[in-house]
Structure 1
Amino acid sequence: MKKLFTALSICVSFFAFSQTVNDVPIRDIDVDYVQIIGTGRSLSTKVNVEIDFGQETKSISFKNGTSIKDERGRNMKFNSMMDALNFMSANGYSFQFAYTMNDEKDQAIYYILKKNK
């Protein structure tokens, strides 16, 4: 009985938390469109991915409110923008279009996604 209870507790804990942005589960964001922004990291093959759904961010805060957090509250790491796009697709969003922006220091890739209804 203890083993069953332990296994059930572990399963419930996995489903009790989800990936979030500003402490809002990605699936529960109440908007039609979101934008994911990917920027490269120096000395790494991974990309930084942030999400913009029109949320208010605190400019004074040192915490980045636009990063996607995992179940433990840590910033998620993506291998590429395609990895991020597949993640968002699994969370109920579909790709609409993409564009890039270059400045002197960085290049950013922007994907516009629509929430599936």
Structure 2
Amino acid sequence: MKKLLLTLTLLFSFAGFAQTINGIPIQNLDVEYLQIIGSSVYMSSKVKISIDIGQRTKLMSSNNDTARLKDKNGEVLVFNSIIDALNFMAGYGYEFVQSNILVEGGQNVFYYLMKKKSK
């Protein structure tokens, strides 16, 4: 009984620290590829990061929070740089494939294609 209680406690504590994309914990994503999209935040050194895993997005939405990485409390994660986000996703088993930078609305937008590492 003690082992069962300990196991359940550990499982819930690890689940509590899960970062999510579109409500799915990152470690449970069933996608081979994903795209990190980064843009600078106005008057800040931080970057706004969203993740494209092929999920549906809302039309006419300028602030689509479903594609944003969120912490256990549902708060959007903030990264210091694109490299910070790349290192974050590498920690979850994804590797860099290629990148592209486009100017959208007078602002640089960074696109990084990531692939799940082969086991």
TM range (shorter): 0.7 to 0.9
> What does residue 23 of structure 2 align with?
23
Query: Which residue pairs with 1:40 in the alignment?
Result: 40
Deviation at 1:81, TM superposition (A): 0.3
Distance of 1:12 and 1:32 partners within structure 2: 26
TM-score (norm 1): 0.83
Residues 95 and 63 of structure 1: CA distance in aligned 2, closer, same or farther (over 3 Å):
closer
Q: Say which SS state the counterpart of residue 76 (structure 1) adopts.
A: coil
SS at match of 2:27: helix
Per-residue deviation, residues 65-97 of structure 1 (Å, max 9, x unmatched): 100001111000000000000000001101111
Q: Which moved more, 1:78-87 or 1:49-58?
A: 49-58
**For structure 2, which runs of at least 5 residues remain unmatched after alignment?**
none
Counterpart of 1:111? 112
* Structure 1 residues not aligned, in runs of 5+: none
Equivalences for residues 74-113 of structure 1 within 5 A: 74-113=75-114
| C-alpha displacement of 1:26 | 1.1
Amino acid at match of 1:76: L
CA distance in 2, matches of 1:14, 1:43: 36
Aligned partners of 2:57 and 2:64 also within 8 Å: no
Q: Which residue of 2 aligns with 1:67?
A: 68
CA displacement at 1:54 relative to structure 2: 0.4
Amino acid at match of 2:79: F
The amino acid of 2:40's aligned partner reads G
The root-mean-square deviation of aligned C-alpha atoms, in Å, is 2.1
Shift of 1:104: 3.9
Displacement over 4 Å in runs of 4+: 60-63
Instruction: Give the % identical residues.
Output: 40
The aligned length equals 110
Going from structure 1 to structure 2, the CA distance change for 1:60 and 1:15 (only over 3 Å counts) comes to farther
SS in 1 for 2:112: strand
Q: Distance in 1 between matches of 2:85 and 2:96?
A: 11
